[in-house]
Amino acid sequence: MTVNASVTFVGNATTVLHLGEFTLLTDPAFGPAGSRVYLGKGAWTRRLKDPALEVVDLDALDGIVLSHLHSDHFDRFARRDLPKDLPIITTPVAARTLAKRSTFSAADGLATWDNREWTRGEQRLIMTSVPGRHGPGLIEKVMPDVMGTVLELIVAGRRALRLYITGDTLYGPYLSEIPRRCGEIDAMLIHLGGTRLLGVLLTMDDKQGVETTHLIRPGLTIPIHNDDYKVQKSPLSAFLNRASRQGLTGVKPITRGGTLELPVRVP
């Protein structure tokens, strides 16, 4: 059986994932360069780059994976244009907010380590919520709940691909639970950018990104969430240079609008 998997990079944390028979959209934000984005608690930022796609093929989508409800991950254009009955896998708080304020009736909140499973013929897609922390110490308490996601594609009873999407998390030893509980990670979409507000680091910079890659040890690491917004202070080049100096292999950047094949184990 021939099975293919790929990721197309739209911008920031927005990607289109083709995983066997399933197609997912991650963290949809389609605002143009120059648009302002509200981050909560009186904080705003501005988008610096246009997304590679203004419209995705909505008919092809099975659902959305939403790491958290910040407007650089689910903006007003997504709220306006996405079908209100499209399944959204996200945190419990985000699901309640989407259902109440934006009438997304199929928003489904997963507590950490909960999972959902979709089946199509001989293929199964298992989506597991894994830990993430969107700020240090007490700062985390005033930030939206965030989750990482492990997507596991099963074909004819065999694992074809295990993909980890970090979400907007900081590095910490708690991330070691992910490969321990979920198993070997074939590929990782890592959210970087070194986002800072009032000097506080809220997403991984180059140093934390390399530490996380050492910890998770994926076969393929694809850095995203780098330079779309003014609050992102750590460029992709810093991560790539540090990863090279430390001898990390399997790191492969993706161009805006580009597509990378993901490693599939089923022959």
Per-residue pLDDT of 120-129, as tens digits, reads 999 999 999 9
C-alpha angle 88-188-90 in degrees, rounded to nearest 5: 15
The CATH number covering residue 206 comes to 3.60.15.10
Give the sign of the dihedral formed by CA 256, CA 152, CA 106, CA 191.
negative
Residue 117 scores a pLDDT above 70: yes
Cα–Cα distance measured from residue 11 to residue 25, given in angstroms and rounded to the nearest whole number:
12
Q: Strands 158-165 and 187-191: what pairing?
A: parallel
Residue 264 lies in a domain: no
CB 176 within 8 A of CB 215: yes
Residue 193 lies in a domain: yes
| Residues 175-184, mean pLDDT to the nearest whole number | 97
Residue 265 lies in a domain: no
Question: Tokens 């950490």, residue?
Answer: 112
Residue 50 lies in a domain: yes
Residue 136 scores a pLDDT above 90: no
Q: What is the mean pLDDT of the chain?
A: 94
* Chain-centroid distance, C-alpha 260: 15
Give the pLDDT confidence score for residue 137 in this predicted structure. Answer: 83
CB 238 within 8 A of CB 205: yes
Which of 42-56, 80-94, 212-226 has the weakest average pLDDT? 42-56
Residue 266 pLDDT grade (very low, low, confident, very high; cuts 50, 70, 90)? confident
* Chain-centroid distance, C-alpha 5: 16
Three-class secondary structure assignment of the chain: CCCCEEEEEEECCEEEEEECCEEEEECCCCCCCCCEEEEECCEEEEECCCCCCCCCCHHHCCEEECCCCCCCCCCHHHHHHCCCCCCEEECHHHHHHHHHHCCCCCEEECCCCCEEEEEECCEEEEEEEECCCCCCHHHHHHCCCCCEEEEEEEECCEEEEEEEECCCCCCCHHHHHHHHHHCCCCEEEEECCCEEECCEECCCCHHHHHHHHHHHCCCEEEEECCCCECCECCCHHHHHHHHHHCCCCCECCCCCCCEEECCCCCC
Give the pLDDT confidence score for residue 157 in this predicted structure. Answer: 94
Give the pLDDT confidence score for residue 123 in this predicted structure. Answer: 97
Burial of residue 148 (CB within 10 Å: 0-12, 13-18, 19+) is: buried
Residue-number span of the structural domain to which 71 is assigned: 5-254
| Residues 171-198, mean pLDDT to the nearest whole number | 96
Residue 267 lies in a domain: no
Residue 259 lies in a domain: no
Question: Tokens 């800072």, residue?
Answer: 196
Give the pLDDT confidence score for residue 42 in this predicted structure. Answer: 66
Task: Please count the structural domains in the chain.
Answer: 1
Nearby residues of 138 by Cβ (< 8 Å), 6 or more positions away: none
